[in-house]
Every structure is written in structure tokens, then in C-alpha cells.
Amino acid sequence: MFEQRVADIEALAKEQGLDFFPTSYEVVPQDIMTEVAAYGLPTRARHWSYGKVYQSQRLYGTMGLSKIYEIVLNNDPSMAFLLDTNPDIANLLVAAHVIGHVDFFKNNVMFANTNRNMINDAVSHATRIDNYIERYGLETVEHLMDIGFALDRHIDPHLGLIRAPYPERRVVEKEHLAQPYDDLFGGEPTPSVTYEVEGDRFPPHPESDLLWFLATYARLEPWQRDVLQIIREESYYFYPQFLTKIMNEGWASYWHAELFHQYQGVQPDEMLEFARLHASVVNPGARYSVNPYYLGYTLLVDIEKRWDDLHAKGESPITGREKLFEVRRTEDDISFLRNYLTTDLVEKLELFSYGNRDSDAKRPQSMQSQDIVITSRERDNVVEALISARYNYGVPFIRVADVVKNELYLDHVNRDASFLDRNYANQTLAYVAELWQHPVHLKTGDEKGQEVFLMVEP
């Protein structure tokens, strides 16, 4: 009965224009659901940090503070996990929600180059790391993984997962093409051939992908290089999910609501339960945060209404529904909020940005009060506050600037906008120095915005 209803929902979704990978549904107990949520994949290389997340999520679930209704994986075919303690109507809602996610995975531009076979590849990664653990010991391998996870968000999505090493140093002959009026500049005629050195600087440009740089150029054993490459590959897999959290959850919430409203196989008492569950999914959120399901869903409903009105007036060639599919295909959270969170919505949703009092800003951090005040209700300030954590995978923008006499020089690019916690910064620099086997320098800023330099030796 449940399987048939899911098939009916999938058929209805295709009629509405959704295009998703084939999806298998596994109904599992709470422990399995929590374990998959902690690991991020059904099978993944073991590490103590996953156990920490598992225990935290299990505790919150036991106390009734949170509940995981579903997990769906970006894969082809896709895989979704449903909770065995949910009533059928809840799991039917979740299945409709999953369809929205899988359609988003398949069609959003940010997921275009993702690994659609990561479920199987992660098993291969786990097997290789298990072999390294047997050979070199758990403590040694886990310590290297600690270093990798400390740097796993310092990647460069613009350059991609697969990269060639920097070009080697070489002298290149370049022909000079004669230009009109060359004889008017400098007296002596310009030689027709010049010689330039390529690869003279290392790195040849500021490098943002710290994991790639260290895995490629640090003096590592082959197994160490492989572990870092595994961590980097999985980080690239999860990056689009981080960058589209609001859109992805909003799209899935929009479609579970839309499909249920059109599905004829729901009884009146089930529709009441659906309404209760839907309201709990798209609630506004906690005191100092916004529920991404709520924000994404609200924006999509607003976009559809506005473009339907424009289309009815002859001011838009596409309908609201057509606009939604365009947004789903082309946007990420940053552009989504900047382009479609209007001033009217900011006022309607009573959104604001907040922070410490202005009088505290100039005081040392240890002396600042804990008073939180509203800093702005202006639309642009609210948008920037919402998307600030979306930049650069949510971590400070650190680049490899130079290597001089084997010493590594890093630059904290956005130091005016973010202050590095010294304990975390020094520990991470110590990790980098351990891999690089030479001193590592970091140019950053202090609480007052003054330039400071940190240095750690291996």
C-alpha cells in the first residue's frame, strides 16, 4: 500500500515537470538513521569525530529536542532513508519531500559536476583507510585525518576537484608582433622575439585549495597523500549541499506541499496530520536564527505569486511556475537571497540583523558584554547577514601566498570581516607545519583590525 502511494506521488511529480533520479527508499530504525546522519553517507571511513556527532544527535533525539525524518543522498540512483517509527502519512510526506530534493540534485547547476556514485566510492575510501589503519595503526591514521578535517573546507570550487600540478619552471620564446607607431616609442626597435620565464614563482598564483596544495607539494608518503585526497574529494561532494541549503530545503518543502494538495489518495484525517507536519517543517525557527525550510519555502511561494502577476499583466513571458524551475536550475543561496528576498518580505517576516552594542565593538573581546541588539532592519543589511556564513564554505578565506626558502606564507584575505580565534588558528597552523615540515607564517589581523603575523614551526 505505502509503496503504491509513493509510486503515485512520483507519477504526479513527473506530470508537474519534476525530473529526478530513480530513488530507493529504506525504512530504518532510529539508530541507523542517526548513524547515517552522523557519517553523511551510509558507509564512510571511520573517525572519532563521527562518533561524537552520533552521540550528540542521539542525545538530542532521546531528549525530544530534535528528530531526523529523512536522509536523502545525491547519487544516481538516489537513496533515501525513512524512519520506521513514523506513521505512513508522515513517511509519504517525507517521500514527496525527497522527490523535491532529488530533482534539485539532478538539475541545479551547483550539482552538475558532483560525483553521482559517491555512495559506492565512499565504500572504497573506507576500505583503503581501513587498510592503512591495519598497516600504520589507528592513532597515526586518525591523526592525519584530524589534519585533513581541519582543512577540508579550504578548497577552491572554481578550479574543481581534478587539477594538474603547476607548470614547471621554463624559458618560453614569445614572438613580438610589430605594432603601428612602434618607432615612436623608445628609439630602439623592439626585438621580434622575447624570452619570458614561466613557473618562476611558487605558487604561480595565490592558492586557495590548501588541501590540494599540501597533498601535491608537501613531502608525504603515498598513503598520506591518498588520505588527504580522499578527504578533499568528499569535501567537494558536500560543498553544493552547503551552498544551497536554503534553496534545497525550500524546494523540497514547496513540492511536498504542492504534491499533497494535488494527490487524491489522502484521507481527510491524513490531510489534517499532513497539515500539522508541514507546519512543523516550515516554522519560522529559533530566536536568533531562521529555519532554512521556512525561508526557502516562503521565497519560492512569493516568487511564483509575483511572476504569475507579472505574466497576467503581460510584463513577463513566463509564468510563476516556469520562473521557479528557472530559479531551481540557476541559483545558489547567495544569489537566491540577493535576487529574491524583497524589502516587503523582510518587513513581512520581521527579519533583522543583530550583534553586540556599538560601544562594545572597540573593547577587547574578553571585556565585551553579552548584550545582543538589533543592528539593522534594512533589506540589504539583512541579506548580507543571512549570506555571510555562506561564503567560502563557511570558513575564513586563507590562501597560500608564497614559499620562500621552503617556508610557507599564508594570507588571511578577508581579515577585515573575520577575526581568527588564536587557539584554533595556532593549532591549524601547527597541523599545516607538520605536513609541510618547515615553518609556516600567516598574515592576519587582530581585534582592532591591525595587521599581525603568526608563525609556527614543525
CA dihedral 327, 160, 100, 308 (to 10 degrees): 0
pLDDT at position 171 = 61
Give pLDDT, residue 94: 95
Q: What is the pLDDT of residue 179?
A: 63
Would you state the pLDDT for residue 78?
Answer: 97
Quote the pLDDT of residue 327.
98
- Helix, strand and coil in the chain, % to nearest 5: 55, 15, 35
Closest alpha carbon to 19 in 89, 148, 110, 106: 106
pLDDT exceeds cutoff 70 at 188: no
- At residue 446, the pLDDT reads 86
pLDDT reported for residue 192 = 62
* pLDDT band at residue 440 under the 50/70/90 scheme: very high
Nearest CA among 3, 86, 26 for reference residue 270: 86
- Cα separations in angstroms, 208 against 10, 164, 323, 385, 452: 42, 15, 35, 24, 20
Whether the bond between 317 and the residue before it is cis, its omega within 30 degrees of 0, is: no
Q: Which residues contact 34 (CB under 8 A, 6 or more apart)?
A: 54, 57, 58, 61, 68
In contact, 82 and 70? CB cutoff 8 Å: yes
For residue 416, pLDDT beyond 60: yes
- The radius of gyration of the chain from alpha carbons, rounded to an integer in Å, stands at 26
| C-beta separation of 210 from 154 below 8 A | yes
Question: How far is 119 from 7, CA to CA, in rounded Å?
Answer: 24
d(CA 83, CA 60): 16
Find the mean pLDDT for residues 105-111.
98
Q: What is the pLDDT, as a whole number, of residue 365?
A: 46
Mean pLDDT across the stretch 361-387?
74
Average pLDDT of every residue of the chain: 90
Check residue 157 and give its pLDDT. 94
Q: At 446, is the secondary structure helix, strand, or coil?
A: coil
Percent of the chain with pLDDT over 90: 75
pLDDT (mean) for 176-202: 61
pLDDT reported for residue 367:
41
Q: Report the pLDDT value the prediction gives residue 184, as an integer from 0 to 100.
A: 58
Q: Which three cell numbers stand for residue 105?
A: 540534485
Over residues 340-358, the mean pLDDT reads: 88
Q: What is the pLDDT of residue 299?
A: 98
pLDDT at 187 over 90: no
> What pLDDT is attached to residue 59?
77
- Put simply, whether the predicted model's pTM sits higher than 0.85 gets the answer yes
Between CA 5 and CA 92 the distance in angstroms is 8
Q: Angle between the 292-312 and 320-330 helix axes, to the nearest 10 degrees?
A: 130
Residue-wise pLDDT for 244-271, tens only, equals 999 999 999 999 999 999 999 888 898 9
CA angle 262, 264, 269 (to 5 degrees): 105
The Cα-based distances of 166 to 151, 163, 205, 409 in angstroms read 21, 9, 10, 18
Q: Where are the alpha helices (DSSP H) in 317-378?
A: 320-330, 333-340, 343-348
What average pLDDT score do residues 13-34 get? Answer: 95
Residue 170: predicted pLDDT: 63
284-332: pLDDT as tens digits = 987 778 999 999 999 999 999 999 999 999 999 999 999 999 999 999 9
| pLDDT of 263 | 93
- pLDDT value at residue 17: 97
Per-residue model confidence as pLDDT tens digits over 190-248 = 556 665 656 678 999 999 999 999 999 999 999 999 999 999 999 999 999 999 999 99
CA distance 105 to 380: 29
Collapsed DSSP state (helix, strand, coil) of residue 245: helix
